[in-house]
């Protein structure tokens, strides 16, 4: 079976990717933590779209779980034609307010698991393949008071931008996606609302992000930033002096908290 792998398939953006891929007729290999949510998603997609869906519940912080996911893919003889890295933890705290467990948890899910699974699943491709990785606008500049999340996303953007070049000769198209706000969990929707006009201009629906990202990777775009306002911010953050950008970000984010632990 030739599959599109999606991590974080039970969340807002991951689910939107699952439906967008199913609409294109892609058979799916989905993961998330909750077996119950994955089973419900499998049933809904198989009934509604006529594609095959394989699921494997996995806690991405657990190295045995991650290895078991790859063993499962090998035992099923999956041919991986597309990898969509969505799973991520967006804890937003001042550095001193983290516990050691929260630090490690965030780095394991966002970075360790994404690299491990991409590496293992790419070995199961035959011929061409596509890799989409959901990074974030939050990784474009260092972000005081959102430092760890920003750092994990900057790492993903750097690694997958390098892979865009490195894997071209192997027939792999690699696109890194940098969304601003995306209307997913209620706490995120609330935070976008609190940002007023800024939030409104920056935020997109998960469906918009999924559909456009699938188009972007087909065109072999290195980086895809969803939405005109975010493209403008991306450019601004690249050219503005770092000290000014850091001061602006610190002022904006000092009062915001999210704890996705």
Ligand X SMILES: NC(=O)c1ccc[n+]([C@@H]2O[C@H](COP(=O)([O-])OP(=O)(O)OC[C@H]3O[C@@H](n4cnc5c(N)ncnc54)[C@H](OP(=O)(O)O)[C@@H]3O)[C@@H](O)[C@H]2O)c1
Site string (59-88) toward ligand X, x via CB under 6 A: xxx------------------------xxx
Q: Which two structure tokens, joined as six digits, stand for 181?
A: 């706000």
**C-beta closer to ligand X: residue 89 or 107:** 89
> Smallest gap, in angstroms, from Cβ of residue 153 to ligand X?
7
Candidates 3, 4, 6, 13: give the one binding ligand X (CB under 6 A): 13
Candidates 144, 151, 179, 226: give the one binding ligand X (CB under 6 A): 179
Strand order through the sheet with 28-30: 53-55, 28-30, 2-6, 79-85, 129-134, 172-177, 223-224
Asked if 33 interacts with ligand X (CB under 6 A), we say: yes
Helix axes 12-23, 206-218, angle to 10 degrees: 50
Region of 27-35, 74-82, 216-224, 236-244 interacting with ligand X (CB under 6 A): 27-35
Helix axes 63-75, 114-122, angle to 10 degrees: 20
Residues in the chain: 261
DSSP assigned state of 85: E
Asked if 139 interacts with ligand X (CB under 6 A), we say: no
**C-beta closer to ligand X: residue 46 or 59:** 59
Asked if 109 interacts with ligand X (CB under 6 A), we say: yes
**C-beta closer to ligand X: residue 57 or 128:** 57
Q: Are 230 and 202 in contact (CB under 8 A)?
A: yes
**C-beta closer to ligand X: residue 86 or 214:** 86
Asked if 11 interacts with ligand X (CB under 6 A), we say: yes
Candidates 5, 18, 26, 32: give the one binding ligand X (CB under 6 A): 32
Select from 180, 91, 93, 97 the least CA-distant residue to 135.
Answer: 180
Distance CA(65)–CA(76), nearest Å, equals 17
Distance CA(90)–CA(220), nearest Å, equals 27
**C-beta closer to ligand X: residue 179 or 227:** 179
Longest CA–CA span in the chain (Å) reads 53
Q: Are 179 and 136 in contact (CB under 8 A)?
A: yes
Candidates 4, 10, 118, 202: give the one binding ligand X (CB under 6 A): 10
Distance CA(189)–CA(100), nearest Å, equals 28
Q: How many residues bind ligand X (CB under 6 A)?
A: 28
Summarize as ranges the residues that interact with ligand X (CB under 6 A).
Answer: 8, 10-14, 32-34, 37, 58-61, 86-90, 109, 134, 136, 179, 181-182, 184-185, 188
């Amino acid at each position: 079976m030739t599959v599109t792998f999606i991590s974080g398939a039970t969340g807002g953006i991951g689910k939107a990717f699952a439906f967008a891929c199913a609409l294109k007729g892609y058979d799916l290999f989905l993961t998330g933590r909750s077996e119950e949510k994955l089973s419900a998603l499998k049933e809904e997609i198989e009934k509604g779209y006529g594609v095959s869906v394989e699921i494997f519940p996995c806690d991405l912080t657990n190295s045995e779980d991650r290895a078991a996911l790859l063993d499962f893919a090998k035992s099923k003889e999956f041919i991986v034609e597309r990898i969509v890295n969505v799973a991520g933890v967006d804890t937003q705290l001042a550095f001193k307010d983290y516990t050691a467990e929260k630090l490690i948890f965030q780095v394991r899910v966002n970075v360790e698991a994404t690299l491990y699974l991409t590496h293992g699943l790419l070995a199961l491709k035959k011929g061409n393949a596509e890799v989409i990785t959901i990074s974030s606008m939050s990784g474009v500049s260092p972000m005081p008071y959102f430092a760890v999340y920003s750092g994990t996303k900057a790492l993903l953007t750097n690694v997958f931008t390098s892979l865009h070049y490195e894997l071209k000769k192997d027939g792999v198209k690699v696109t890194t996606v940098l969304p601003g706000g995306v209307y997913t969990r209620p706490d995120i929707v609330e935070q976008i609302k609190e940002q007023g006009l800024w939030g409104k201009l920056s935020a997109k629906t998960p469906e918009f992000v999924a559909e456009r990202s699938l188009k972007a990777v087909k065109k072999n775009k290195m980086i895809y930033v969803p939405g005109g306002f975010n493209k403008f911010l991306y450019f601004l953050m690249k050219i503005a002096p770092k000290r000014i950008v850091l001061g602006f970000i610190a002022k904006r984010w000092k009062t915001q908290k999210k704890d996705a632990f």
